[in-house]
Amino acid sequence: MHASTSAAHAKIPAMTPPILLRRLGRVDYEPTWRAMQDFTAQRTADSADEIWLLEHPPVFTLGQAGKREHVLADIGIPVVMIDRGGQVTYHGPGQVVVYLMLDLRRRGYGVKELVRRLEQAVIDLLGAHGVAAERLAGAPGVYAHGAKIAALGLRIRNGCSYHGLALNVDMDLAPYAAINPCGYEGMAVTRTRDLGIAATPEEIGEHLISCLAEVIAVR
């Protein structure tokens, strides 16, 4: 992905109700988080749902349940305490991040079902590239070859979601050594490049959007 502050808008096909896709490029974490909060606070029953496709400069984020001791070392990467569920994770260039601003009441399912659907989208994407992936009980996300490849974290306000998922594609994994990923000591992490998938972050991002469109739309 290349740096951009502009947003490209496109309606994802075959979605009821329609979802507006915003491709944001590389954007700083904190203002993007604040924009998600503002969008969710201001939306009405008639507001279109939105998906934001982007990547972040290096940042650790610590969720509501997060414990600071899971940040093991100061390596010069900022730590931002935020309002999603979960513990600590890392975002950086080469990781595909998707934020989902969805009215779950309108869609007819709750947060647990949304988590399942997001995981399924990643499992479907990896399966299309010949990689078997799975869920791990008690640890939301997607795992391949015994290592975590996608992290999930959501916040629900007035029946509407924000935050979303992060898929490791072609990123530097070294910063993960400075944390206990998602609060698990010694948890291995991986990326699509190391699983033999040659697709770029841009290509993986577009494929992930297609997989999400399939699973989110189905009741």
User: Would you please indicate which residues are annotated as catalytic (active-site) residues?
Assistant: 182
Spatial distance between the Cα atoms of 12 and 154, rounded to a whole number of angstroms: 22
Decide: 162 and 101 in contact? Cβ < 8 Å.
Answer: yes
- Angle formed at CA 163 by CA 48 and CA 43, multiple of 5 degrees: 30
Closest CA to 196 of 142, 126, 135: 126
Residue type present at position 128: A
Kindly calculate the radius of gyration of the chain based on its CA atoms and give it in whole angstroms.
16
Spatial distance between the Cα atoms of 187 and 146, rounded to a whole number of angstroms: 9
CA 73 to the chain's CA centroid: 24
Number of H helices, E strands in the chain: 4, 10
Closest CA to 171 of 151, 194, 154: 194
Q: What is the dihedral of CA 14, 44, 4, 170, to 10 degrees?
A: -60
